[in-house]
Chains A and B, each alone.
Chain A
């Protein structure tokens, strides 16, 4: 007995997609196999079988996806090569052209907000909200890594030429100069949150958005050789030296950007600065074994330490009689110590509450 909700078209598409996933058939081959399944199902139905039974037998007679992929791979030797090139074009268009067009839109947004609301509270609210939404969007993209790759893979498998052509659209749109819409210079407009809006909140949210792009990109890059899903623990457990160094650079840039928040006392600025380092050392300590933590912390925080000592000293000398470096470096070291202490304690508690099952 066939189930009443059986859908032949969906079932055939699913079966063909299983063969396509093997990666050795062209869209024309898929269309031919689809036509075959329809013909075979129709013929078996005429012999008195239900649609579902007919489809099942037709699939069995067609052969399983491994055998078919193996046979097709002997004649479609260029399919794999073409697929690699399709991914190269798609990658270029998605990672270059799409962000480029996005930057133009952002520049236009900054320009229009500044033109209409100048440095008012409205403009600060719009710009800050935009930066926060954008930051959330960046992390949503990182989180959806698997779904995005599945979507791209499916498009390439089903109709690679059409998909590659579609991804070229942003590249062509990018050739339209921004000046066509408004008399602005993109590179100038993109710096409005720092120089024009005159608000530490919109400036700091701007840095958060930029840090998110850098950290998100690094997360995607350093998860490439991981087999598990992209999570914080996967990234921070047994980290590689390049990862730790890159992480240290991002943390230093992020911590330094907190100076954009105007505070009345240098101690307040230093504490905010130290909090970023505390969070960073917590992540390293929480996800790693006690004996490796010190090494990981030194590698990751070395860049920030040298930068703060070096540039801080130059800045203090230029200002004359300030000793801000002492505050920031002390806050940094204190943040690292406290962060790693909390990380170790919480990890130990976590391990005790979840005993390992042998």
Chain B
């Protein structure tokens, strides 16, 4: 089970949530289930910490939350991606790709054996 560094998790969660919401509207528990499915249950994160992230994203107008009654009769807060959120996702996606490529390039470089004078 992978336990991500707190800062890395905090910065990664927003684009991941935006990517999940890009496909369809969803609610907190469903988003977490999708994260669990896609990582094969390998990602260890306190589920409750997703909600402050959703709140922060809502405050930035990237997503919009609405209370809806599910078939079970229970109310859930559903989130949808806004146009600003789509734009943000595209920007973050290209930035993350850029960082990813850079990391790969640096990782693949041979380790030089330097001789200390």
Contacts and interface: CB of A to CB of B under 8 A. Distances in A.
A36 B49 contact: no
Given A35-B75, A36-B28, A36-B29, A68 B48 contact: yes
Given A62-B46, A67-B46, A33 B51 contact: yes
B59 interface: yes
Interface in A232-276: none
B74 interface: yes
Interface of A: 28-29, 31-33, 35-36, 38-40, 43, 61-64, 67-68, 71-72, 74-76
B49 A71 contact: yes
B84 interface: no
Contacts of B33: 43
B86 interface: no
Contact of B51 (A29, A38, A43, A64): A29
Contacts of A71: 48-49, 52
B52 A35 contact: no
State the main secondary structure of chain A at its contact with B.
helix
A160 to B, nearest CB: 18
A68 B46 contact: yes
Given A72-B52, A74-B52, A61 B47 contact: yes
Interface residues of B, number: 18
Contacts of A40: 29, 47
Contacts of B46: 61-64, 67-68
B22 interface: no
Given A35-B29, A35-B74, A39-B29, A75 B47 contact: no
A134 B103 CA distance: 76
A76 B59 CA distance: 11
Contacts of A68: 46, 48-49
Contacts of A29: 51, 55
A75 B56 contact: yes
Contact of A75 (B28, B48, B55): B55
Interface string B23-64: 000011100010000000000001111011001100100000
The 9 A-B pairs with the shortest beta carbon distances in the complex, nearest first, are A63-B46, A39-B29, A63-B48, A71-B52, A62-B48, A68-B48, A75-B55, A75-B52, A71-B49
Contacts of A35: 27-29, 74-77
